[in-house]
Structure 1
Amino acid sequence: MKRLTEHLIIISFDCLSALDLPILKDLPHFQEFLSNGALVEQVETVYPSVTYACHSTIVTGNYPKRHGVVSNTLLQPGWSSPDWNWYRDCIRGTTLYDEAKKAGMTTAALLWPVTAKANIDFNMPEIFANRPWQNQIIVSLMNGTPRFQWELNQLYGSIRKGLQQPHLDDFVLASTVHTIKTRRPNLLMVHFTDLDTQRHDHGFSSNEALAALQRHDTRLGQMIEALKESGIYEDSTVILLGDHSALDEHTAIRPNVLLRQQNLVNTGTNGKVKNWKAFCKSCDGSAYIYLKDQADTGTLSKVKQLLDSLLDNPDSGIESILTGAQAAAKGADGTCAFMLEARSGYYFLEDLEGEYSKTITAKDVKADHKYTLATHGYSPEKENYRTIFMAAGKGINPITIPFCRLVDEGPTFARLLGVSLGETDGRVVEELLTY
């Protein structure tokens, strides 16, 4: 298969929305990029539309039920901080970076989700020190490329202030510029989370979100300049994409509180889960209901009766309820008993205690990161909930098209690199490419 580019640079701006397009068109570096590149005005995300499921889709071309990353975090009932789907092994099947590596290309990834312990030449994975006894630098070094990460931390570690934004993205930017100039990878995947953080903490259209978009514009300019200084710009294809949008919300709802009242989740005197029959696994704007025993028809009936009563109540915050089969038909995890979709303005928490619903204030958000003013995870069918895709450089036809799906991106990237992801749920968006 003919290779269309020597260097594919994929830049993910987490939570970039199709609604941001008018703003991007007024920012100098995005404006210049769009004037010479291709644009997909509306990109349909996946269900649930959370970061790790989305980014796994981007590199596989498959829906979550197929690639296996069906939420950000693992099903660990009662854990205050569940572990995330950090590891490459969480993804079933091949990926874009696997196929690029097999074809002899140099690969690099900077805070790209679900890449811990991946076979990537220069890898700084997105993985957190999730336990009090863990050290962030050591956790990162153990799960990525140690010498490469040590080099980046020695050079730019002073920029970072833990996971705080915008410092984290400024560190990622410096690391990206350095990687471009010193490694010149054939495939580079970079993940920025500044915008996502600001929208969670301050709201979708907040001044803080606008400032993050402006910072992203500056970051884009610096990355393009690095490609030019390294001498590979003319042989490169640059992709700018979002993984999902976000919606403002005002109320958090806790179905596990009701499941506990029904004795479907039992806790000890310390408040920790001793055993459970049914559990609500939050994906923010949506949630799975899992049964510990899928053959437990009594629990299934009890849960259905409870959920039906909530659906009949407009104040419950639940917009719709899917069966496991219906969830699978939308690309989500079909092993769930049910999948809940929140009404606009609502989102799910996994808490076992407290009231069923809680109105969220800015004070709550500042005190505890589980509270947010805007979030994602909702159904791709929600109104004004599309993301966006932009591309420029080698192999790109500079046109504007109205629509594609997130699952179409991986096969299109593979085609640019002259490799194949095999049979995928997505298609190559041929109209974006020149041969």
Structure 2
Amino acid sequence: MIRLTDHLVIISFDCLSALDFPILKDLPHFQTILNKGTYVENVETIYPSVTYPCHATIVTGNYPNRHGVINNTLLQPGRLSPDWNWYRDCIYGTTLYDEVKRANLTTASLLWPVTGKANIDYNMPEIFANRPWQNQILVSLKNGTPSFQLDLNKRFGHIRKGLNQPELDDFVLESTVHTIKTKKPNLLMVHFTDLDTQRHYHGFSSEEASAAIHRHNRRLGRILEALHEGGIYENSTVVALGDHSALDENKAVNLNVLLHKKNLITTNVKGKIINWQAYCKSCDGSAYIYIKDKQDPSLLNEVKNLLDSLLDDPNSGIEQVFTGEQAAEKGADGRCAYMIEASRGYYFLEDFEGEYIKTITREDAAADKKYTLACHGYSPDKENYGTIFMAAGKGIKPNTLPSIRLIDEGPTFARLLGVSLGNTDGRIVEEMLAI
């Protein structure tokens, strides 16, 4: 298969929304991409629309129930800081970077989710120290390319302030610019989370979110400049995309509080979970309901009756209930007993003590990171919830497309680099390619 480009740079601006276009079209560096390439007005995300499943979909072309990354975090009831799907092994089947590497091309990745211990030439995976005894730098080094990361941390580590934004993205930007100039990879994947962070803690249309979009414009400009300085701009393709949108909310639903009251979650005298029969696993705007023994009809009926009663209550915060089979049809984890979708203004937490519904204030969001003022994870069917895609450069023709799906991006990227992801849920978007 003929390669359509020599260098593909995929820039994920986490939580960039189709609704951001009125701002993006007036920013000079986004204008550069929009004026020269293909712009997709609306990209249908996946279910659940959270970051790790989304990024696994982007590099596989498959829905979560097929690539295996069905949520950000693992099912670990009661653990305050559950482990995430950090590792390449969490993904079933092949990926874009696997196929590019197999074609003897060079790969690089900077804070791209689900790349821990991946076979990537220059890899700084997104992984963080979630245990008191762990060190952030060492955790990253252990799961990526040590020499590459040590060099970047020596050069630019002073920019970081832990995982705080916007300093983290500023560090990632300098690392990206340096990687382009010195490594000139055939595939470069970079993940920026500044906008996502600001929307979580300040709201979708907040001044802080707007400021993050303007910072992203400057970051995009620096990347374009680095391609020029590295002498590879004319042979490169630049993609700027979002993985999901977000919706404002100020009420947290804690279904586990009700499951706890029904003794389907049991705790010890210290208030720690020691056993569970049913558990609500949050995906922010949606949630999985897992039942330990799905062969127990009385247990299934008890949970179903509870969900039915909540669905009848307009103030329950639950908009829809899906069976496991229906969840699988939407691309989510069919192993769940049920999947629930939050009403607008609500999202799900996993608290099992306290109030069933907690109203979130700005003070709550500032004090505790589990509380947010805007989030994602909702169904792609939610109104005004699409994300965005734009690409320009070698192999891309000028075009405006009304819509594609997130699952279509991976196969299209593979075609640009002359490789294949095989039989995928998504398709190659031929309409944007200069073949």
TM range (shorter): over 0.9
1:247-396 equivalences under 5 Å are 247-396=247-396
CA distance in 2, matches of 1:214, 1:205: 13
> Scaled by the length of structure 1, what TM-score is found?
1.00
CA distance in 2, matches of 1:203, 1:332: 26
Matched, 1:405 2:400: no
CA distance in 2, matches of 1:154, 1:280: 43
Residue identity opposite 1:379 in structure 2 = S
Residue 17 of structure 1: aligned partner? 17
Residue 87 of structure 1: aligned partner? 87
CA distance in 1, matches of 2:296, 2:130: 33
Residue 121 of structure 2: aligned partner? 121
Matched, 1:169 2:169: yes
Give 1:238 deviation, angstroms: 0.5
Give 1:170 deviation, angstroms: 0.1
CA distance in 2, matches of 1:78, 1:293: 19
Residue identity opposite 1:11 in structure 2 = I
1:284-334 deviations in Å (ceiling 9; x for gaps): 000000011221222111000001010010110000000000000000000
Q: In structure 2, list runs of 5 or more residues that go unmatched.
A: none
SS of residue paired to 1:99:
helix
Residue 154 of structure 1: aligned partner? 154
Residue identity opposite 2:85 in structure 1 = N
Residue 68 of structure 1: aligned partner? 68
CA distance in 1, matches of 2:368, 2:394: 45
Give 1:258 deviation, angstroms: 0.3
CA distance in 1, matches of 2:133, 2:253: 31
Residue identity opposite 2:184 in structure 1 = R
Residue 41 of structure 1: aligned partner? 41
Give 1:388 deviation, angstroms: 0.3
SS of residue paired to 1:196:
helix
CA distance in 2, matches of 1:330, 1:207: 34
Residue identity opposite 1:172 in structure 2 = V
CA distance in 2, matches of 1:246, 1:13: 13
Number of residue pairs aligned between Structure 1 and Structure 2? 435
Residue identity opposite 2:47 in structure 1 = Y
Residue 417 of structure 1: aligned partner? 417
SS of residue paired to 2:353:
coil
SS of residue paired to 1:250:
strand
Give 1:229 deviation, angstroms: 0.2
SS of residue paired to 2:315:
helix
Greater shift in the superposed pair: 74-83 or 289-298: 289-298
CA distance in 2, matches of 1:64, 1:258: 28
Matched, 1:236 2:229: no
1:260-298 deviations in Å (ceiling 9; x for gaps): 001100011121111111000000000000011221222
What is the root-mean-square deviation of aligned Cα atoms in Å? 0.5
Percent of aligned positions that are identical: 74
CA distance in 1, matches of 2:218, 2:255: 42
1:335-356 deviations in Å (ceiling 9; x for gaps): 0000000001000000111100
Matched, 1:99 2:99: yes
Q: Which runs of 4+ in 1 moved over 4 A?
A: none
CA distance in 2, matches of 1:141, 1:369: 26
Residue identity opposite 1:163 in structure 2 = L
1:177-216 equivalences under 5 Å are 177-216=177-216
1:39-93 deviations in Å (ceiling 9; x for gaps): 0000000000000000000000000000000000000001111100000000000
Greater shift in the superposed pair: 291-300 or 109-118: 291-300
SS of residue paired to 1:288:
strand
Give 1:32 deviation, angstroms: 2.0
Give 1:33 deviation, angstroms: 1.8
SS of residue paired to 1:315:
coil
CA distance in 2, matches of 1:241, 1:384: 17
SS of residue paired to 2:9:
strand
Residue identity opposite 2:201 in structure 1 = D
CA distance in 1, matches of 2:32, 2:430: 23
SS of residue paired to 2:58:
helix
> Scaled by the length of structure 2, what TM-score is found?
1.00
CA distance in 2, matches of 1:271, 1:209: 37
CA distance in 2, matches of 1:175, 1:270: 45
CA distance in 1, matches of 2:186, 2:354: 51
SS of residue paired to 2:21:
helix
Q: In structure 1, list runs of 5 or more residues that go unmatched.
A: none
Residue identity opposite 1:159 in structure 2 = I
CA distance in 2, matches of 1:4, 1:307: 51
CA distance in 2, matches of 1:143, 1:184: 22
